[in-house]
C-alpha cells in the first residue's frame, strides 16, 4: 500500500517546492503541511465512505470560487447526509467559449473544504496531468467522465497515470449506449492495478427532445451490474434529468433498482451556477430530497426471495415504461409517414412492406427465443395501432 502511494508522494513533493514560488496557486504552505498530517485519517474516512450504503456524493457541477466551494461544502456537511464532496475542476464542454473549469487553482479550495468538513473529495480527471494534479492535492476518489469513457486513448492515458497509485476510481457510462466501451474503460483501469472501481450511470445521449437530458436506458445499467456484480453502482440523476423537477423520480427509481448510491449536483445559488444551472439544487433541497426517498433495505425477517422478486418486478416495470415510451415514438413516426402518404396520395397499407417488417422481426425474435406466434400477435397489434394513427391523419 505504502509502495503504491509512493508515486503520488513524489508528485506532492515536487509540487510542494513549486507551490511556494507560485503566486497563482494560493495555497498556504503551513496549511499544506497540516493537511499532510491528517491525510492518513482522511484516507480512512474515504475508505469508509466507499463502503457505505447508500453512498451519497454531492457538490457543485464546477468549482467556481473559493467561497462557493467552501460554503457548499459546509452547508452539505451541515445536512449530515453527504459522504463525498464532488466538484468539477476541468469541465469538458460541448462548445468552446463556455466555462471550461477553474483548473488547478481550484484544487486547494477542495483540500480546504475537506479540512473544514472532514468529507472526502472526488474530482473528474480526463488526462494524465489531471490525475497527477488531483492526487497531488489529495483528492480521495477520481472519476472518469462520460466524454472520456467514450475514448479509449484518453482512458488509457488516465489508466497509465494511475499505474502505481492506490486510489478508488469511478467510471461514468460513455455518452453513447455502448456497454463494451464502458466495460473497456473498467478493464483499462483495472489493468493499471486499481482495485476499487465503481460505475456511475448518468444516462445516454439521444437525438431529439426527450423528457431527459440523457436517456436513462435503465436496462443498460442493470445489464452492466449483472456483468459486474462486484462493482459499486452509483446513479447520477442530475445529468440524466438536466432539470430539477424530475430529479427525485429518477433517484427513487435508482434506489428501487438497488443502486449503491447517488451523485447529485448541489450549489449554494443553483440558478447562477457557471455550469449546469438548471439541474443543481441547494444543499438544503438535497437533504429534503434524500429525506423523501423511500430507501429499500432488506430486513432480517424478509425472506430473501421476496426481496429478489420485488427487485425483478421493479426491473420489469422500468422496462415496460421504456417499451411504452418507444411505442409512443414509433407512432409519432407513423403519423409522419401518414402525412407523406396523404400528400402523395398513397394507400396506407402496403402489403410488401408489412411482410418485410414481419420477416425482420421473426429473424430477430428467433435469435432471442421469442416465438413466431408471439411476434405475430405483437406486431399485429402494433401495426393496427399504426394504421389507426395514419387513418386519422389521412382523414383529417
Ligand atoms: C459532471 O459530472 O459534471 C459531468 C461533466 O458529467 P458527465 O461526464 O456525466 O457529462
Ligand atoms: Mn454537471
**pLDDT tens track for 54-112:** 999 999 999 999 999 999 999 999 999 999 999 999 998 888 888 999 999 999 999 99
In whole angstroms, give the CA distance from residue 62 to residue 73: 13
**3-state class (DSSP) for residue 230:** coil
Return the pLDDT at 299: 56
* 164 touches 128 (CB < 8 A): no
* Residues making up the chain, counted from first to last: 396
Specify the higher pLDDT residue, 273 or 24.
273
pLDDT at 1 over 50: no
**pLDDT of 380-394, one tens digit each?**
999 889 888 888 888
Q: Which residues pair with 85 in a beta bridge?
A: 58, 121
Which of 148, 185, 202 has most ligand 1 atoms within 8 Å of CB, for mutation? 202
User: Comparing 91-95, 249-253, 287-291, which segment has the lowest mean pLDDT?
Assistant: 91-95
> Can you give the C-alpha Rg of the chain in angstroms?
25
pLDDT at 316 > cutoff 70: yes
Contact between residue 240 and residue 212 where contact means Cβ atoms under 8 Å apart:
yes
Over residues 339-366, the mean pLDDT reads 86
Q: Which of 24-28, 131-135, 219-223, 333-337 has the least mean pLDDT?
A: 24-28
Q: Which range (18-27, 85-94, 313-322, 378-387) has the least confidence?
A: 18-27
Phi and psi at residue 301, in whole multiples of 5°? Answer: -70, -30
- Taking CA atoms only, the protein residue closest to ligand 1 atom 1 is 61
pLDDT of 325 reads 92
For residue 28, pLDDT over 70 is answered with no
- What pLDDT does 183 receive? 98
Percent of the chain with pLDDT over 70: 90
**pTM reported for the whole predicted model:** 0.76
The mean pLDDT of 27-31, rounded to a whole number, is 54
Atom of ligand 1 nearest to the CA of 238: 2
| Residue 177: per-residue pLDDT | 95
DSSP labels, 82-104? -SEEE-BSS---SSTTS----GG
Least confident of 261-270, 285-294, 315-324: 315-324
The answer on pLDDT for 310 being more than 90 is no
Residue 211 grid coordinates: 423528457
Task: Give residues (CB < 6 A) around ligand 1.
Answer: 61, 88, 145-147, 172, 202, 239
Pair 144, 162: CB distance under 8 Å: no
How many angstroms does the Cα of residue 265 sit away from the middle of ligand 2? Answer: 7
Q: Which of 85, 91, 93, 124 to mutate to test the pocket of ligand 1 (most atoms within 8 A of CB)?
A: 124
Q: Report pLDDT for 179.
A: 97
DSSP 359-374: HHHHHHHHHHT--HHH
Q: Is the predicted pLDDT of residue 21 greater than 80, yes or no?
A: no
Asked if the model's pLDDT at residue 19 lies above 70, the reply is no
Q: Are 262 and 238 in contact (CB under 8 A)?
A: no
- Reported as a single tens digit per residue, the pLDDT across 188-228 is 999 999 999 999 999 999 887 789 999 999 999 999 999 99
Question: Is it true that the peptide bond before 70 is cis, omega within 30 degrees of 0?
Answer: no
CA of 65 to the centre of ligand 2 (A): 16
Residue nearest to atom 10 of ligand 1 (CA): 146
Closest ligand, as measured to the CA of 144? 1
> Mean pLDDT, the chain, as a whole number?
90
Q: Is the pLDDT at 38 greater than 90, yes or no? A: no
Between 22 and 242, the more confident residue is: 242
Probe ligand 1: pick from 126, 239, 250, max atoms within 8 Å of CB?
A: 239
112-127: average pLDDT: 97
Q: Are 107 and 135 in contact (CB under 8 A)?
A: no
Contact 51, 62 (CB under 8 A): no
Q: How confident is the model at residue 36 (pLDDT cuts 50, 70, 90)?
A: low
Task: Tell me phi and psi for residue 336, to 5 degrees.
Answer: -65, -45
For 353, the 3-state DSSP assignment is: helix
Cβ distance 374 to 392 under 8 Å?
no
pLDDT of residue 20: 45
Amino acid at each position: 500500500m505504502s509502495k503504491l502511494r509512493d508515486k503520488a508522494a513524489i508528485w506532492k513533493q515536487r509540487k510542494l517546492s513549486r507551490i511556494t514560488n507560485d503566486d497563482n496557486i494560493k495555497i498556504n504552505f503551513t496549511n499544506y503541511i497540516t493537511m499532510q498530517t491528517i491525510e492518513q485519517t482522511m484516507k480512512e474516512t474515504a475508505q469508509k465512505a466507499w463502503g457505505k450504503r447508500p453512498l451519497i456524493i454531492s457538490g457543485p457541477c464546477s468549482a467556481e470560487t473559493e467561497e462557493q466551494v467552501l460554503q457548499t461544502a459546509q452547508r452539505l456537511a451541515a445536512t449530515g447526509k453527504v459522504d463525498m464532496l464532488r466538484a468539477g475542476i476541468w469541465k469538458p464542454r460541448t462548445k468552446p467559449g463556455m466555462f471550461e473549469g477553474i483548473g488547478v487553482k481550484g484544487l486547494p479550495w477542495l483540500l480546504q473544504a475537506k479540512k473544514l468538513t472532514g468529507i472526502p473529495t472526488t474530482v473528474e480527471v480526463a488526462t494524465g496531468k489531471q490525475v497527477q494534479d488531483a492526487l497531488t492535492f489529495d483528492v480521495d476518489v477520481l472519476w472518469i467522465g462520460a466524454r472520456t469513457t467514450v475514448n479509449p486513448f484518453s482512458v488509457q492515458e488516465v489508466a497509465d497515470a494511475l499505474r502505481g497509485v492506490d486510489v478508488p476510481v469511478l467510471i461514468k457510462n460513455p455518452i453513447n449506449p455502448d456497454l463494451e466501451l464502458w466495460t473497456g474503460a473498467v478493464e483499462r483501469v483495472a489493468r493499471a492495478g486499481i482495485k476499487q472501481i465503481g460505475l456511475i450511470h448518468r444516462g445516454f445521449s439521444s437525438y431529439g427532445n426527450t423528457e431527459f437530458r440523457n436517456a436513462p436506458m435503465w436496462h443498460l445499467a442493470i445489464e452492466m451490474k449483472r456483468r459486474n456484480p462486484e462493482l459499486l453502482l452509483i446513479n447520477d440523476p442530475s445529468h440524466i434529468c438536466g432539470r430539477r423537477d424530475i430529479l427525485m423520480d429518477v433517484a427513487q427509481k435508482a434506489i428501487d433498482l438497488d443502486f449503491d448510491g447517488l451523485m447529485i449536483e448541489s450549489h449554494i445559488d443553483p440558478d447562477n451556477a457557471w455550469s449546469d444551472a438548471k439541474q443543481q439544487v441547494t444543499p438544503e433541497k438535497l437533504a429534503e430530497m434524500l429525506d423523501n426517498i423511500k430507501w429499500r433495505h432488506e430486513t432480517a425477517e424478509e425472506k430473501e426471495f421476496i426481496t429478489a422478486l420485488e427487485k425483478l418486478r421493479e426491473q420489469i416495470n422500468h422496462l415496460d415504461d421504456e417499451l411504452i415510451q418507444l411505442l409512443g415514438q414509433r407512432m409519432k413516426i407513423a403519423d409522419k409517414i401518414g402525412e407523406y402518404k396523404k400528400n402523395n396520395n398513397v394507400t396506407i397499407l402496403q402489403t410488401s412492406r408489412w411482410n418485410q417488417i414481419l420477416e425482420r422481426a421473426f429473424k430477430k425474435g428467433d435469435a432471442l427465443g421469442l416465438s413466431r406466434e408471439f411476434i405475430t400477435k405483437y406486431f399485429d397489434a402494433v401495426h393496427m395501432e399504426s394504421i389507426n394513427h395514419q387513418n386519422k391523419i389521412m382523414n383529417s
